[in-house]
Amino acid sequence: MIKKILIANRGEIAVRIVRACSELGIKSVAIYTDADRHALHVKKADGAYNIGSDPVLGYLNAHNIVNLAVASGCDALHPGYGFLSENPTLAEICARRGIKFIGPPAKVIHQMGDKIQARQAMIKAGIPVIPGSDHNLENVEEARKLAKTTGYPVMLKATNGGGGRGIRRCNNEEELTKNYDRVVSEAGKAFGKPEVFLEKCVVNPRHIEVQILGDNQGNVIHLYERDCSIQRRNQKLIEIAPSPQLTEAQRQYIGGLAVQAAKAVKYVNAGTIEFLLDSDNQFYFMEMNTRLQVEHTVTETITGVDIVQEQIRIASGLPLQYKQSEVSYRGFAMEFRINAEDPKNEFLPSFGRITRYYAPGGPGIRTDAAIYTGYVIPPYYDSMCAKLTVWNLTWPGAIERGRRALDDMAVYGVKTTIPYYQEILKDPEFRSGKFDTSFVETHPDLINYSVPRPPEQLAAAIAAAIAASEGM
């Protein structure tokens, strides 16, 4: 069994991994930049090392991070998500230095990170894929020619993209021509490779993904699906497990597809197969994420499987603890990404000091956070500062529990997406469980919420009123 893990990440996911290590009796080592010296993961880990003054590059220097893992006596490294988590170079360096990488082999990360190679692998495995190009586009003329064959609208995508970046919808030839160079540029800047491909645009699909686990003995299971259709500009906001939109037959079908896809590429560790479901109830493979997902919490909540601990066990060479027949789900779970953003101002980031933080509690509530009262959210990283996960036996019950938990949760000093989510939970379409990826775009009125007065302001007003009355 692994004895000591270096966590090559920050924020709430680093805290999550520290907790998994603690329960397994494994020592944890955190890394941090100067900007993160007061971060919660630094305080919670068994040890912590400064990786420099640059707030971003420190977390992206694979050689330095692996050197630190070796120097600090770690025998494994967990990449979390984001940063280097889907960079095959990190896995390769770990293998050379004798450090167990808690994730799939570098070869699989490279294959499934390249969207063209991933499409080819899925076609070979008999998995339905969206019609599109089977190679990187040479130029805009080739893109225009292919688009005439598939029909508009089409999606231009970075071949090595992810996280909702490097994607543009083109409704006609004029938009395709205008966006081509832009997407190529975005692909080069964001992912280091100015390579793009084209797919038919599935209009207003439902975004359904399946969590899988695979071990080194060739066993693969799925942990059912998550519905990620509530998203803005390809960035997920609310995730639900299981999907309230699927029948049991669809659920079993897509779970089987995910296992088939993972076995086809000899997948090991935790991963996610993402699908689009069109209006004709046809599933299409979209991509595979070769890492832990932000929204893994909802899957853990409905199945009882600790995905992070399973990752560590698999990396230790142990077989899966569960057979597919032993995995079941119960109830519904929803995860809300609590972002330090202002929905009323185009979701602009709202960084700064948290003057008050109140975490919700009660039955069926889970909070994964990296914040505390007095913590200063730095401006260099993703705006997500916490995740709220709620569970209930029924879909209506999960909605009401989510509403109550969001009412209980309070983050003051910065603006957050909490009040926006409260409005979403009131919407009849959302409550019916019938929605697609166009939901946010087609419900702009949900931004028109009123924000209650912060409790410290209310307390000050009451104190002033009392003082005034006593002076009369």
- Tens of pLDDT along 65-84? 999 999 999 999 999 999 99
Q: What is the pLDDT of residue 93?
A: 98
pTM of whole model > 0.85? yes
> 146: which 2 tokens?
């292919």
Give 162's pLDDT tier (boundaries 50, 70, 90): confident
Architecture of domain 131-200: 2-Layer Sandwich (3.30)
Domain boundaries, the chain: 4-102, 131-200, 206-447
> Has residue 459 got a pLDDT over 80?
no
Range name among 163-172, 212-221, 360-369, 436-445 with the lowest pLDDT average? 163-172
Pairwise CA distance, residues 74 & 3, whole Å = 7
User: Would you say how long the chain is, in residues?
Assistant: 472
- Note if 291 is an active site residue: yes
Q: Which CATH class is domain 4-102?
A: alpha beta
> 372: which 2 tokens?
């505390």
> 252: which 2 tokens?
């079993």
> Has residue 467 got a pLDDT over 80?
no
Question: Which residue out of 10, 206, 226, 291 is catalytically annotated?
Answer: 291
Pairwise CA distance, residues 409 & 217, whole Å = 43
Q: What is the pLDDT of residue 469?
A: 67
Distance of CA 90 to the CA centre of its chain: 20
Give 463's pLDDT tier (boundaries 50, 70, 90): low
**What percent of the chain is modeled with pLDDT above 70?**
95
Q: What is the pLDDT of residue 164?
A: 72
Give 235's pLDDT tier (boundaries 50, 70, 90): very high
Count of CB atoms situated within 10 Å of the CB of 287: 19
Q: Which CATH class is domain 206-447?
A: alpha beta
Q: Which residues pair with 206 in a beta bridge?
A: 277
Q: Parallel, antiparallel, or unpaired for β 196-200 and 100-101?
A: unpaired
Q: What is the pLDDT of residue 421?
A: 98
> Has residue 154 got a pLDDT over 70?
yes
Asked if domains 131-200 and 206-447 share a fold, the reply is no
> Has residue 472 got a pLDDT over 60?
no
> Has residue 230 got a pLDDT over 70?
yes
